[in-house]
Amino acid sequence: MSRNPNVILKTEKLTRYFGALKAVSDVSLEIMEEETRAIIGPNGAGKTTLLDLIVNRTSPTSGKVYFNGKDITNNKPFNIVRKGMCKTFQVSELFPLLTVFENVKIACIQKKGDVFNIFPKSHNYLRDEVMNVLGYVNMQHMKDEIAGELSYGDQKRLEIAITLAMQPKILLLDEPTAGVARQEGYDIMEMINKLAQEFHMTILFIEHDMDIVFNYADKISVMNEGELVVTDTPEKIRNNEFVQNVYLGGAL
Ligand SMILES: Nc1ncnc2c1ncn2[C@@H]1O[C@H](COP(=O)(O)OP(=O)(O)OP(=O)(O)O)[C@@H](O)[C@H]1O
Ligand SMILES: [Mg+2]
């Protein structure tokens, strides 16, 4: 019997004003378990704000967010992480003076809810778990490198490792391939895709590179001026006249 997938994330008329500017306007969307959903749209369309509203890094002016059928609107961001929804940390939120290992270790400690102790019980405290997580992003050999001295691409991998330490059911990524060379961008996306399959994770990602979007997304949502313009399959989006005019400039 084929499995009937559930809606894991739902927003209902999610809206956010910044002063007079309606950055996100009545956005209602549904994402199914294990789906990979891309959000595209021009600069300033409201994509980042939408993700921040979903994880309550920015509080909505109005509207609702449901995770696994439960209303999580206005839940504390850390409780949302605990429930299994994580947005990748920005690179600036890494601890730049600590090693790769120590950065992931802090995330593992947070997941366990322990009080962070700068004098850990033993040198091997959590070691296996941290090494396991580093293995997911192929960074075990870099464990002693200083986070702030890594290449930008490796900092992105470390960001993802930190998020994986939280064992998310749904991973929200804001331009995971931005600022890295094209091939490295593809490598990062390939890695995310493999991890998503292995751990049955749902992915919601913002991306400007249309090759990546069309390669990896099951469905694409298009935003413009705060509004959700359309959600559809990659083929339909590629051929959608409105999308071509508004965003793709008729170039595809
Ligand atoms: N904290 C803020 N205060 C005031 N205005 C904001 C704030 N954050 C975002 N905005 C505005 O809200 C609108 C949507 O911004 P947002 O960053 O969500 O767009 P985006 O689609 O992610 O764009 P980009 O593709 O450039 O990342 C923009 O006009 C932006 O200037
Ligand atoms: Mg953005």
* Structural domains present in the chain: 1-84+168-252 (3.40.50.300), 91-166 (no CATH)
Instruction: Evaluate whether 11 touches 29 at the Cβ level (below 8 Å).
Output: yes
Mean pLDDT value across the chain:
89
Nearest CA to ligand 1 atom 16: 46
- Classified as helix, coil or strand, 11 is strand
Residue 146 is given by DSSP the state B
**Is the confidence at residue 198, as pLDDT, over 60?**
yes
Mutate to test the pocket of ligand 1, among 48, 58, 207, 246 (most ligand atoms within 8 A of CB): 48
Please tell me the least confidently modeled range out of 3-12, 26-35, 162-171: 3-12
Structure tokens at 221: 């949502």
Nearest CA to ligand 1 atom 31: 44
Mutate to test the pocket of ligand 1, among 14, 15, 17, 18 (most ligand atoms within 8 A of CB): 18
CA of 1 to the centre of ligand 2 (A): 40
- Could you tell me the pLDDT band of residue 251, with boundaries at 50, 70 and 90? very low
* Residue corresponding to tokens 């559809």: 232
- Classified as helix, coil or strand, 214 is helix
- Could you tell me the pLDDT band of residue 242, with boundaries at 50, 70 and 90? confident
**Mean pLDDT on 213-240:** 94
Query: Which helix or strand (DSSP H or E) is residue 232 part of?
Result: strand 227-232
Catalytic residue at 35? no
Q: What is the pLDDT of residue 137?
A: 94
- Which residues share a beta bridge with 31? 9
Q: What is the pLDDT of residue 37?
A: 98
Q: Side chain identity at 201, as an amino acid letter?
A: M
What residues pack around ion ligand 2 (CB closer than 5 A)?
48
Q: What is the pLDDT of residue 151?
A: 93
Query: Which helix or strand (DSSP H or E) is residue 50 part of?
Result: helix 47-54
Query: Which helix or strand (DSSP H or E) is residue 87 part of?
Result: strand 85-87
**Mean pLDDT on 164-174:** 93
Atom of ligand 1 nearest to the CA of 24: 14
